[in-house]
């Protein structure tokens, strides 16, 4: 697998570049954030590479920093997010903005990116909230620390309640039952995150019968009992 390219930048566009390495030109897909960090064609360039192997092609995705590449690999680990959408995500905001949006449960900001709906944004937060913390820059950690010290927690109880309830409704649970489960999950206290509250809620819902609105119950007649008559 190709993990790094170092050569001469032959050409660049907003989402792709061609790099000459020993006389061989490699076409590499890049996010807009990397495009802005590149010099003009003819200059030396180094890119961190993610190699994506398909049945009929081998695609290269390039990034200016190792941190950006690592964030990309974590984004595409989320169900429903492939390399193309991963590049779109990193083109829609900087690495720190992406990490902050995921850590602070900012679904509104994430859904502003083309191709990212609410369900996709919810999966990003739920699956990556704890996994992207290690990629935060010192400046971002300081900013988030200031927010918390000022009394603005990373995720408020109201925002978590709303987002977890939305996730449960999308799974098909009845609103009244889902609301009771979320309230019970929040009442357990301790550290709160969307992933934790969602897990608690699902655990509580698993103990309740008759959850899905389309669930049907059938009454079984004892053997030998008279059957209901059907009139025509």
- In terms of Cα–Cα distance, which of 89, 30, 28, 87 is closest to 63? 30
> What is the C-alpha separation between 154 and 193, in angstroms, rounded?
9
The confidence band for 17, taking pLDDT boundaries of 50, 70 and 90, is very high
Q: Are 200 and 188 in contact (CB under 8 A)?
A: yes
Residues 126 and 78: their CA atoms lie apart, in Å, by: 10
Fold of 155-210: Helicase, Ruva Protein; domain 3 (1.10.8)
- pLDDT computed for residue 47 by the predictor: 97
What is the structure's pLDDT at 219?
46
* Cβ proximity of 204 and 221 under 8 Å: no
Which has the closest alpha carbon to 154: 140, 138, 168, 166? 140
**For 152-161, what is the mean pLDDT?**
61
27-85: pLDDT as tens digits: 999 999 899 899 999 999 999 999 999 888 899 999 999 999 999 999 999 989 999 99
Give the integer Cα–Cα distance in Å for 84 and 31: 10
pLDDT bucket at 201, cuts 50 / 70 / 90:
confident
CA 63 – CA 27 distance, rounded (Å): 13
Mean pLDDT of 1-29: 95
Mean pLDDT, all residues of the chain: 81
Instruction: List the structure tokens of 142.
Output: 């300081």
- Read off the pLDDT band of 9 (50, 70, 90): very high
pLDDT category, 96, cuts 50, 70, 90?
A: confident
Say if CB 101 and CB 87 are below 8 A apart. no
Please tell me whether the overall predicted TM-score, pTM, comes out greater than 0.75 for this model.
no
Locate tokens 């008279």: which residue? 226
Q: Could you confirm whether domain 4-64 is CATH 2.40.50.140?
A: yes
The residue with tokens 């109880």 is: 157
CA 141 to chain centre: 20
pLDDT digits 0-9 by tens, 100-120: 889 888 888 888 888 899 889
Rounded mean pLDDT, 150-163: 62
Where are the domains positioned within the chain?
Answer: 4-64, 65-154, 155-210
The whole-number pLDDT of residue 60 equals: 96
Fold of 65-154: DNA polymerase; domain 1 (1.10.150)
d(C-alpha 157, C-alpha 198), whole Å: 13
Tell me whether the CATH fold assigned to 4-64 matches the one assigned to 155-210.
Answer: no
Can you tell me whether residue 102 is helix, strand or coil? helix
Distance in angstroms (rounded) separating the CA atoms of residues 114 and 107: 13
Tens of pLDDT along 115-134? 899 889 989 998 998 888 88
d(CA 155, CA 189): 14
Question: Which has the higher per-residue pLDDT, 178 or 23?
Answer: 23
Q: How far is CA 230 from CA 2, 227, in A?
A: 72, 9
pLDDT at 180 over 60: yes
Q: What does the alpha-carbon distance between residue 155 and residue 102 come to, in Å, rounded to a whole number?
A: 10
% pLDDT > 70, the chain: 78
């Amino acid at each position: 697998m190709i993990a790094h390219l170092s050569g001469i930048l032959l050409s660049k566009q907003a989402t792709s570049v061609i790099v000459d390495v020993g006389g061989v030109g490699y076409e590499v897909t890049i996010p807009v954030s990397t495009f802005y960090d590149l010099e003009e064609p003819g200059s030396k360039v180094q890119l961190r590479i993610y190699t994506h192997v398909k049945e009929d092609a081998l695609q290269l995705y390039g990034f200016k920093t190792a941190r950006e590449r690592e964030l990309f690999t974590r984004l595409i680990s989320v169900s429903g997010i492939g390399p193309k959408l991963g590049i779109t995500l990193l083109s829609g905001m900087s690495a720190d903005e992406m990490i902050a949006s995921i850590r602070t449960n900012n679904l509104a900001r994430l859904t502003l990116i083309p191709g990212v709906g609410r369900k996709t944004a919810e999966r990003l937060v739920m699956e990556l909230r704890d996994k992207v913390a290690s990629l935060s820059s010192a400046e971002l950690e300081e900013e988030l620390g200031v927010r918390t010290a000022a009394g603005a927690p990373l995720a408020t109880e109201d925002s978590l309640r709303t987002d977890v309830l939305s996730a449960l409704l999308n799974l098909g649970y009845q609103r009244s039952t889902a609301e009771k489960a979320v309230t019970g999950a929040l009442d357990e206290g301790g550290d709160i995150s969307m992933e934790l509250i969602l897990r608690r809620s699902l655990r509580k819902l698993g103990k309740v019968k008759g959850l899905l609105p389309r669930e049907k119950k059938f009454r079984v007649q004892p053997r030998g009992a008279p059957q209901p008559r059907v009139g025509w």
